[in-house]
Structure 1
Amino acid sequence: MWSVAQSPAWVESFWAWFWGVPAHIVTILVVSIITLALLRRLIKTTTERIIRGTRKAEALARRELPDALVRPEMFNNPRREQRARTVATVLRSAATLTVVTIATLMILDRIGVNIAPLVASAGIAGVALGFGAQTLVKDFLSGIFLLLEDQFGVGDTVYIGDVTGTVESVALRVTRIRDADGVMWTLRNGEILKVGNQTQGWSRASVPVRVAFDCDMGQLHDALLAAADRIRHDEVLADSLQGEPTVGGIEAMTSQSLTVRVSVRTDSNRMADVTAALRDAVRGEIEKRSIPLAPDVPKGLLS
């Protein structure tokens, strides 16, 4: 019967050679591939779990809370999925780079290459690259923190420097905003130092009214409350309100005019609609009561 001992000399030489360096290289490659696959699987599973978390929260809220308190916009949050997928992309890239780098160095070491100078050169090259691409690195790091901290997301109305508009996309390097004139602004994330978000959480719909200096303030107060009450009973907008409307005192005064503001807290995604409806209701109540506007404002026009 044939056995290894009876095999030709070249076969024994081959196996002796193979179980040396080649076997170690194959083992490194197999372990690296398995490790990378497991890391990618873990990242994918975690990402999907985060995305599904919103659906579970919605189901729980619908089971525990009255229907009147559960609104679709409480859970329809596309930025959550965007953040999860973007961070997952960064983690996958980092995992791939780390595993490939370690595997390459281990293989080079097994075939007899002195990796000490290579590691030192890589460190120097990394420092040089860091200095040369520090702006790019800054943009990417800023983009990661913008997403993790949820400073703004797609669909938000934001104020960034001298740019005001609606966020259309948030990437790791740049953010794109479209203003009221339809102009698309592309901002590097590293240059975003201060952000004003008008549509995150809740907003306040307010209408300032400039009236004549000798206006009856009691009559004006009643008119503004009546206008706000019309919004509270509106079948479309009533569910968007988050509190009682308020009429402030005199916030500005000149020799010919007084300015009073009516406001109401509302859902962020309905702020524009509530403001427009409130403005129209105020106009109607003022005209119905013949309240005189400020002399420098045309009749029926609010500031």
Structure 2
Amino acid sequence: MSVERIWERTVEFIVNEALWITIGTALLKILLILILMVVVVKIGKSAIERVMILRSKTPIGYTERRQNTLIKLLQNGLTYIVYFAGILAILSAMSINVVGLLAGAGIAGLAIGFGAQSLVKDIITGFFIIFEDQFGVGDTVMINQSNGTVEEIGLRTTKIKTYTGELHIIPNGNISEVINYSVYNSLIMVDVSVAYESDVDEVERLINKFLDSTEERYPELVRRPDLLGVNALGASDVVMRIAAEALPMNHFKVGRLLRRDIKKFLDNHGIEIPYQKMVVFEQKGGGQTNAGK
């Protein structure tokens, strides 16, 4: 074929009006499909959130943690479905045989499925995690060796954000052990050391007086803390133990506040909290020096 003939066909192809109309129509369809996908996903996510909020206000509504989990899951599921339908619509707009493509994908998927056992395991485990409500979005958990807050639960993976900011993405099939700290109330144990010279009965009276006002000071407490009594006799101190019950995941905060305020309270009432002291003995006349604690 001569160069002139190739050039004539190229020019004829470029100036073909029907071709450009077809391409323009296909591009316009694809643009409209993309816009429709974004709008449907946005409206669908908002609708799911509103429905779940209304559902939580009914007498048989879900708990907040379960509600957040279901919202995330349903929103992700809606996104996958809309995007999959949008991709099929785009392929159809490009005059690609979608039916034949799906048939081929089904056969290929069957072959791939035999080698995707871990994926199937992840999905099945994820289903049971959600169905049994083992943990939810916002819960503080320890999964395997990852300790942090649940950011997202999917059918395939679970995302855990640690206290230092790292995001751990764990396949559901690898979850072998879960410790959930957000379900039940937390127990706080506070040990208070006083000197042997202190009057134990007086110390107990003062601590009980302090504990009588804790429910007003710390709204995170479920009830008034209990003074269990003398827990240990140390080398230089008498250890008294206080037990308190706080709302889930508030034991760190309340424990720190209790230790600080008990220290101040005992200081104000002249109760000494013992600490190690260094005593130095020196003989006159340049003799040997002895030190002791």
Tell me if the contact between 1:228 and 1:281 (Cα under 8 Å) persists in the aligned partners: no
- For 2:255, the equivalent position in structure 1 comes to 275
**Matched letter for residue 55 of structure 2:** G
Task: For residue 218 of structure 1, report the CA deviation from its aligned partner.
Answer: 2.7
Instruction: Note the residue ranges of structure 1 that are not aligned, 5 or more in a row.
Output: 1-44, 61-74, 98-114, 298-303
Q: Structure 2 CA distance, aligned partners of 1:136 and 1:214?
A: 66
Task: For residue 245 of structure 1, report the CA deviation from its aligned partner.
Answer: 1.4
- For 1:291, the equivalent position in structure 2 comes to 271
Tell me if the contact between 1:227 and 1:278 (Cα under 8 Å) persists in the aligned partners: no
Task: For residue 88 of structure 1, report the CA deviation from its aligned partner.
Answer: 8.4
**Counterparts in 2 of 1:212 and 1:175: CA distance versus 1, 3 Å:** farther
Q: Structure 2 CA distance, aligned partners of 1:226 and 1:83?
A: 46
**Counterparts in 2 of 1:80 and 1:254: CA distance versus 1, 3 Å:** same
2:57 to 55, 60, 64: 55
**Matched letter for residue 207 of structure 1:** V
TM (norm. structure 1) is 0.54
- The alignment covers a number of residue pairs equal to 210
- For 1:144, the equivalent position in structure 2 comes to 127
Is 1:263 aligned with 2:250?
Answer: no
2:164 to 181, 199, 204: 181
Q: Structure 2 CA distance, aligned partners of 1:279 and 1:249?
A: 16
Specify the SS of the correspondent of 2:212: helix
- For 2:148, the equivalent position in structure 1 comes to 165
Write the mapping of 1:217-228 to structure 2, written as runs, cut at 5 A. 217-228=200-211
Task: For residue 214 of structure 1, report the CA deviation from its aligned partner.
Answer: 5.9
Q: Structure 2 CA distance, aligned partners of 1:161 and 1:253?
A: 38
1:197 to 160, 177, 180: 180
Deviations 1:263-287 (A, max 9, x none): 3222226444433332222122222
Q: Which has the larger radius of gyration?
A: 2
Specify the SS of the correspondent of 2:190: strand
Tell me if the contact between 2:232 and 2:238 (Cα under 8 Å) persists in the aligned partners: yes
Deviations 1:282-301 (A, max 9, x none): 1222222333335359xxxx
Write the mapping of 1:108-147 to structure 2, written as runs, cut at 5 A. 126=110, 129-147=112-130
Write the mapping of 1:13-162 to structure 2, written as runs, cut at 5 A. 52-57=54-59, 77-83=64-70, 86=73, 126=110, 129-162=112-145
Task: For residue 77 of structure 1, report the CA deviation from its aligned partner.
Answer: 0.8
Task: For residue 47 of structure 1, report the CA deviation from its aligned partner.
Answer: 10
The structure with the largest helix share of the pair is 1
Task: For residue 130 of structure 1, report the CA deviation from its aligned partner.
Answer: 4.6
Q: Structure 2 CA distance, aligned partners of 1:274 and 1:93?
A: 43
Task: For residue 55 of structure 1, report the CA deviation from its aligned partner.
Answer: 0.6
> Identical aligned pairs, as a percentage?
27
**Matched letter for residue 56 of structure 1:** T
